[in-house]
Structure 1
Amino acid sequence: MLRNQRLITVPLDQNQLRERNRALSVLLQLSNYLSTRTNLEDLLGGALELVMEQLGVNAGRLYMAAPDEDCYHLVVHRGLSPEGLETVPAGVGFTSKAARTRSFLAMRVEDLDDTDRVALLSSKGFKLVICLPLITRDQVIGVMNLSAEDIIPLEMASIDLVMVMGNLVATTAESVLQAQALSEQARQMAEQKEAVQFFAYTACHDMKSPATGVHGLARMLAQRAGHNLDEKGRAIITQIEKAAQRIEDLAQEVNAYIRVKEAPLNLSEVSLKEVLDEVAGEMAERLEKQGVVLELPAEEVVLKVDQGALVRAVTNLVDNALKYGGPGLSKVRVLHRQDEGFHVLQVSDDGVGVTEDLVEKCFTLFKRADTSQGTEGTGLGLAIVREIARRHGGKAWLETSQPKGACFCFSLSRDLPLNSTKS
């Protein structure tokens, strides 16, 4: 066609297409209709009308398969009362034959095998019935039944066209059903998530209150009657106090983890120096008690972050170093650098370091090193850091190139918009 022409221009005009190729025009019309529908009943109703118009029939019914019930259920109908036609059993009858053979079927009403169906359709004035299976991905998901008051001519071109139309309808209907199923799953998951969150908050609150009471009672017992107990009795009281304190800490950390995971981020421009000074102030007493120096970066940097979350992340990493750095720990160092699109914060120490088996697992919930036995902790501190980094578009990791001690890092995206939430 292009042999003697430099350019061929054919505008997509539906009226012109109808004049040139009516069948393709009908398919385009159906495709445009299906692409705008997300409600199954609305989609099937409009599609049924287009097929009826194409074949020139008076009435139609569209059934969807119900495999669990071994039948087909009426979803939409046009041009007749559906009374007595609401359900079609699978395996018998004209409709089931069309589905079973995956074939377009047309037959005079008077020639149907089902005498009851003949009487019913005849009483409604119909002389011709047509069954069109709706097939997608080699599965019959429904059947379109059409009825005419007169015997109409059926050409092969028309039959081929409505079979393709049936395939388009089936494919779109399946997509809508899948979308509805996904939407329902999402709704159920949201409900479950809310229920789990409510349970976690409630359980932690209910757990913390008696633990606080036990802690206070054990301390009171030690103060009032400790002098009457032997060494073993006083040791038991101490163990009770520690156990109660651990339950309190765990409840507090679980609530903290839920908050950093679920609460909206309050993003603003934050001075890194102010954040680190706040952390240093909170940790000053422990640092002095353990004889550890905290080194902070001197440069002034402004980050777009949730300030409370950033304070929490850095505090957790410094706390982690103080808890697990060992007796030789003397220095904890915080560094900042910028990579492509990210702020990276690094908290390193000169302590005992992290064993190889924990390199990939240390940010896992409730995961603690075997060497941490006897050291207070909940196993949630690093998991909270990882979650804060994730919600800021970054990640958390353990740097393994440091020859001594441990070096934990987390990144924060530099592209987060202010005053937004990110989940």
Structure 2
Amino acid sequence: MGPMTFQSDLTTVAFSRRKLMGRNRALSVLLGLSDLLSQSKGVSGLLNQALDYVLEHTAFDAGRIYLMEPDRQALRLAAYRGLDVAGLERVSLDEGFTGRAAKTCSFIAQSVQALGDAKRAELLASKGIHTVVCVPFVVLDRVEGVMNLAAKSPIRLDQDEVDLLMMIGHLIGVAAIHSETEEILRDIVEELQHRNETIKLFVSTVGHDLKGPAVAAYGFAKRLQERYAGVLDERGVLYCEQILKATRQIACMVDELNSFVRTREMTLQVQRLSVSALWESLRQEFSTEFTKRSLRWEEHAQVAEVTADEVMVLRALRNLVQNALAHGGPSLSTIRVGCEEREGFFVFWVADDGRGIPVEEHEKLFQPFARLKTSQGVEGSGLGLTIVREVAHRHGGEAWVRSEPGKGAVFFFSVAKATGAECRCAPEGGVNMFKKILFPVDFSDVSAKIVPVVREMAARFDASVHVLFVARVFEHLGSIYVPHPSIKTIQAELAEGAQRKLGEFLAQHFQGVAVEGRVVSGDPAEEILKYADSQGIDLIVMGTHGRKGFERIVFGSVAERVVKGAVVPVMTVNPYGEKARWGR
């Protein structure tokens, strides 16, 4: 085939494996092997299938694959076909052609008759083997294994064939490394999950078994102090004070541990929040303390509303105000709270004019149980700022501080604008979690009202949108004497109308968005789950009608069933209640 000349700016060449095989056998073989190796099967399964593929597409009749041991002193057998491997399960780098190929990073081909080991040559010849080839697996200039191939008849090996076998070895070596790494990571993840469950059980046990006795001890000590104050001497009064302080600390620690676990585990209840309402809540909560200490309270906000979990955001803000009150020192006179808008994020901050924090201690602040030099003599669990950071992470943001000794401190935490989606991406960028978003619709006002949320999520994660309408089936109407042909006619007309309506819906609401529409028939919840599974959906966003009472009994909740059955995150939005919930 001669060179191709393209006469236009756009040339389309249809791909055909069959034609590729005719034009370029080597590329075709490598393409097929690459496809095979891309499938995750574990190291053993991968290497056995790879060896089968090589034997099928070459003139060889048998083979073995060895992988380098961790100490790189020997090779271990990982796969074989067509030959007895007794005594060959492990090969030293100083042993035979296999070891030499690995040690010298060389392709070796030899006829059996020319083998230096007469006993080995006789054994191979008795099995009908004529030629032996050793192909090293060279990855990043290191040998990761060797493939031995044996042929029962003479074969011709030109440079092109040698290059092809070396490329085959390279691909198998890369795949083996990746597969081994994947298995190691899977084991690590399982171990971490087990440890995480153990920690959760421990914290739960501590929360249940430790707080009760601590509260009881506090109560008895308090009663002793009040009833027998006149009887106790100075040392007895001091002992009571120490017991009260210690039990308060235990109860506080347990509460903070439970709060930390809840912050990490609880489902985000995302909704629109009024910033002024957040300030009002904080102001009322701390008014007595501010009045008692003659402190000034200032509020600043560049935005009126944010989208986040109210309980979590209030907890973070409360912890920061408490932190300022506890660590501000005698110079503290003013606490300011604020919220501003930055690219992709809302940023909350709490500032004080207290003693400040040395720069070298900033990195420790958000670590669990961190107690700084400036914290000596101040009660606390050491988890308050850790919870702030966790709240930020749950909302796709981060937490940080700006402070110097004598100049006060400003603590910040950010919340991603994308409806508080739970992701771990920093303000400067991150990995896109959701590449495919499923948006089930029913063409009601609810669907139209949720479109901005879906578009925002798609823009945020650079995701494609799948819009799905499920036409309910009517087979149950047979019980009220509607002929089946009529039911089928109705369903066909509904499906046709739905397809037309879907096209109009997409044209009206999803211009400029990568979108795909589909109409299916069946039970809505079941079809939504089925579609999500078949299309590899990463996130489901759907509306709820907020039905209650009799309506809920009659119509049921499709969203609730989807949340319970989905294996991917589900965001449900009630536009009338202006509230979004995360499932899973």
- TM-score w.r.t. the length of structure 1 is 0.83
Partner in structure 1 of residue 356 of structure 2: 354
CA contact (8 A) 2:273 2:305 kept: yes
Partner SS, residue 56 of structure 1: coil
Partner in structure 2 of residue 269 of structure 1: 272
Partner in structure 1 of residue 322 of structure 2: 319
Partner SS, residue 44 of structure 1: helix
Pair 55,317 (structure 1): closer, same or farther in 2 beyond 3 Å: closer
Q: CA RMSD in A?
A: 3.6
Pair 364,146 (structure 1): closer, same or farther in 2 beyond 3 Å: closer
Report the CA distance between 1:403 and its aligned residue.
9.5
The whole-number CA distance in structure 2 between the counterparts of 1:292 and 1:255 is 31
CA contact (8 A) 1:126 1:150 kept: yes
AA at the equivalent of 1:419:
R
Partner SS, residue 420 of structure 1: strand
Partner in structure 2 of residue 27 of structure 1: 30
The whole-number CA distance in structure 1 between the counterparts of 2:328 and 2:223 is 33
Structure 2 residue 181 is the aligned partner of structure 1 residue 178: yes
The whole-number CA distance in structure 2 between the counterparts of 1:303 and 1:286 is 28
The whole-number CA distance in structure 1 between the counterparts of 2:161 and 2:330 is 87
Partner SS, residue 150 of structure 1: coil
Pair 194,113 (structure 1): closer, same or farther in 2 beyond 3 Å: farther
- Give deviations 1:313-368, integer Å, cap 9, x for gaps: 1211222233334456555443333333322333344x534244477254444445
Report the CA distance between 1:191 and its aligned residue.
2.6
The whole-number CA distance in structure 2 between the counterparts of 1:220 and 1:262 is 38
Partner SS, residue 227 of structure 1: coil
Using the TM superposition, name which of 20-29 and 3-12 deviates more: 3-12
Partner in structure 2 of residue 420 of structure 1: 582
AA at the equivalent of 2:161:
S
AA at the equivalent of 2:146:
V
The whole-number CA distance in structure 2 between the counterparts of 1:193 and 1:228 is 50
Match of 2:52 among 43, 49, 52: 49
Partner in structure 2 of residue 232 of structure 1: 235
Partner SS, residue 382 of structure 2: coil
Partner SS, residue 581 of structure 2: coil
CA contact (8 A) 1:354 1:406 kept: yes
Using the TM superposition, name which of 161-170 and 111-120 deviates more: 111-120
CA contact (8 A) 2:137 2:143 kept: yes
Report the CA distance between 1:389 and its aligned residue.
1.9
The whole-number CA distance in structure 2 between the counterparts of 1:70 and 1:256 is 52
Report the CA distance between 1:400 and its aligned residue.
5.0
Report the CA distance between 1:170 and its aligned residue.
1.4
Report the CA distance between 1:87 and its aligned residue.
0.7
Structure 2 residue 311 is the aligned partner of structure 1 residue 149: no
Pair 328,174 (structure 1): closer, same or farther in 2 beyond 3 Å: closer
Report the CA distance between 1:134 and its aligned residue.
1.9
Report the CA distance between 1:292 and its aligned residue.
4.2
Partner in structure 1 of residue 574 of structure 2: none
Using the TM superposition, name which of 399-408 and 137-146 deviates more: 399-408
Partner SS, residue 129 of structure 1: strand
Using the TM superposition, name which of 393-402 and 54-63 deviates more: 393-402
CA contact (8 A) 2:249 2:379 kept: yes
Partner SS, residue 315 of structure 1: helix
- TM-score w.r.t. the length of structure 2 is 0.62
Partner in structure 1 of residue 91 of structure 2: 89
Partner SS, residue 376 of structure 1: coil
Partner in structure 2 of residue 40 of structure 1: 43
Partner SS, residue 582 of structure 2: coil
CA contact (8 A) 1:212 1:244 kept: yes
Match of 1:378 among 349, 358, 381: 381
The whole-number CA distance in structure 1 between the counterparts of 2:321 and 2:31 is 64
The whole-number CA distance in structure 1 between the counterparts of 2:252 and 2:241 is 16
Pair 86,277 (structure 1): closer, same or farther in 2 beyond 3 Å: farther
Report the CA distance between 1:55 and its aligned residue.
3.4
Pair 365,354 (structure 1): closer, same or farther in 2 beyond 3 Å: farther
Task: Give the count of matched residue pairs.
Answer: 420
Partner in structure 2 of residue 216 of structure 1: 219
- Give deviations 1:376-402, integer Å, cap 9, x for gaps: 323322232222123222233445599
Pair 120,225 (structure 1): closer, same or farther in 2 beyond 3 Å: farther
Pair 92,324 (structure 1): closer, same or farther in 2 beyond 3 Å: closer
Pair 154,345 (structure 1): closer, same or farther in 2 beyond 3 Å: closer
The whole-number CA distance in structure 2 between the counterparts of 1:224 and 1:135 is 83
Pair 171,324 (structure 1): closer, same or farther in 2 beyond 3 Å: closer
Report the CA distance between 1:234 and its aligned residue.
0.8
AA at the equivalent of 2:344:
G
Structure 2 residue 131 is the aligned partner of structure 1 residue 128: yes
Partner SS, residue 396 of structure 2: coil
Structure 2 residue 310 is the aligned partner of structure 1 residue 310: no
Partner in structure 2 of residue 192 of structure 1: 195
CA contact (8 A) 2:77 2:88 kept: yes
Pair 217,67 (structure 1): closer, same or farther in 2 beyond 3 Å: same
CA contact (8 A) 2:301 2:339 kept: no
What does 1:387-402 correspond to in 2, within 5 Å? 387-400=390-403
CA contact (8 A) 2:263 2:312 kept: yes
Pair 326,172 (structure 1): closer, same or farther in 2 beyond 3 Å: closer
- Give deviations 1:210-248, integer Å, cap 9, x for gaps: 433332332233234332221222122112211221122
The whole-number CA distance in structure 2 between the counterparts of 1:143 and 1:407 is 60
What does 1:251-290 correspond to in 2, within 5 Å? 251-290=254-293
AA at the equivalent of 1:352:
G
CA contact (8 A) 1:93 1:113 kept: no
Partner SS, residue 306 of structure 2: strand
CA contact (8 A) 1:273 1:300 kept: no
Using the TM superposition, name which of 33-42 and 136-145 deviates more: 33-42
Pair 321,140 (structure 1): closer, same or farther in 2 beyond 3 Å: closer
Pair 135,373 (structure 1): closer, same or farther in 2 beyond 3 Å: closer
The whole-number CA distance in structure 1 between the counterparts of 2:34 and 2:160 is 19
Pair 87,115 (structure 1): closer, same or farther in 2 beyond 3 Å: farther
- In structure 1, runs of 5+ residues without a counterpart are none
Pair 19,329 (structure 1): closer, same or farther in 2 beyond 3 Å: closer
The whole-number CA distance in structure 2 between the counterparts of 1:304 and 1:5 is 53
The whole-number CA distance in structure 2 between the counterparts of 1:299 and 1:50 is 64
The whole-number CA distance in structure 1 between the counterparts of 2:340 and 2:103 is 67
The whole-number CA distance in structure 2 between the counterparts of 1:348 and 1:69 is 58
Report the CA distance between 1:288 and its aligned residue.
4.2
Partner SS, residue 419 of structure 1: strand
Higher relative contact order (CA 8 A, sep 6+): 1
The whole-number CA distance in structure 2 between the counterparts of 1:4 and 1:265 is 58
Using the TM superposition, name which of 152-161 and 111-120 deviates more: 111-120
Report the CA distance between 1:169 and its aligned residue.
1.8
Structure 2 residue 244 is the aligned partner of structure 1 residue 241: yes
CA contact (8 A) 1:342 1:411 kept: yes
CA contact (8 A) 2:312 2:391 kept: yes
CA contact (8 A) 2:328 2:356 kept: no
